[in-house]
Amino acid sequence: MSTEPPLEGLLPAGAATGIGSLPHRDPADAIGLIARTCPALPFWPQLPRRDPEEGMIAQGLRGLAAATGWSAFREALDIGIFTEAVALKGQVTGPWTLSRAAPAEGGPLPLVARLAAQARAQARALRGLPTLLLVDEPSLGALPAAARPAAVEAIRCVFEAIRAEGATPGLHCCASMDPTLLPELGPAVFSFDAGPGLEDLLAHPALRAWVDGGGWLCAGLIPTAGPVPPPDALLARWSACAGPPLGAQGLVAAACGLGLRPVPDAERRMDAAAGLSAAIRNLSGPI
């Protein structure tokens, strides 16, 4: 069950946002795409093609000092580019995933202080609007039972740091994660790739109980590769799974991994996420 106060009025239900990475080399081009396709919930982009130091692991280890996507996003906020923004979205590398990529760091718990400080700094910098910070944990799809207590404790500590700054904590996992982690971790938002396992995920009792308790979903319904289904087909698939209304308790995005796609293809998929958000808005009213 989510432990957050109701998110209505804090997050723009049905809005499109992004998971993190984009393939652009020029931060201004990435910011322009975000302003066009995610006007209500813009996010700061990771730009790993510009520099490997802008990938999630490097940023988790060394912070955002060299993150041009982060600095460009803050500049765009300062000069008023995101005129339609209702809330803002950021991300921080998760302690379990970072510990798997950097085993010399000694596991997830020794990384908590560093990652919590990064999360607090983001939340403070984005304080002008309600802020959603996703803890990026793709490696939760491979979590051994023996490592689960330490991973859960570490992630919860990062969530607590986010809450302490008045921001909303969320969890992103693009892998097939055990849904029973949701009540243990207590994120306000769960972001996931809505691939072939969508039906089983939405039917899982732990996820349904977490949603019934107020948890929001950020559904990566736009695939990273292959054909892009039209919005009505995506909405029909979601409705057939009996998922919560995306216009009331959810957000939409392209699946993660756009940073590895050609720029025109990534932009087409971001446009598709914007189109899906518009279709949701037509059904449920304006954001």
Per residue in 46-69, pLDDT (tens digit) is 999 999 999 999 999 999 988 999
Query: How confident is the model at residue 30, as a pLDDT?
Result: 98
pLDDT score of 177 more than 60: yes
The token pair at 37 is: 């396709």
pLDDT of residue 285: 64
Tens digit of each residue's pLDDT (9 = 90 or more) over 129-150: 999 999 999 999 999 999 999 9
CA quadruple 232, 253, 82, 187: dihedral sign: positive
* Contact assessment for residue 233 and residue 194, using Cβ atoms and an 8 Å cutoff: no
Beta bridge partners of residue 189, listed in sequence order: 170, 216
Place of tokens 């490592």: 147
pLDDT at 2: 46
Give the model confidence (pLDDT) of 14-26 as tens digits.
999 999 899 999 9
Residue-wise pLDDT for 178-214, tens only, equals 999 999 999 999 999 988 889 899 999 999 999 999 9
Q: Find all residues with CB under 8 Å of 122, minimum gap 6, and list them.
A: 64, 90, 92, 131, 133, 167
Exposed, middle or buried by CB within 10 Å (0-12, 13-18, 19+), for 9? Answer: exposed
CATH of 16-284, one of 1.10.1740.10, 3.40.50.720, 1.20.1560.10, 3.20.20.210: 3.20.20.210
Burial of 136 (0-12, 13-18, 19+ CB in 10 A): buried
* Rounded percentage of the chain residues whose pLDDT exceeds 90: 80
Percent of the chain with pLDDT over 70: 96
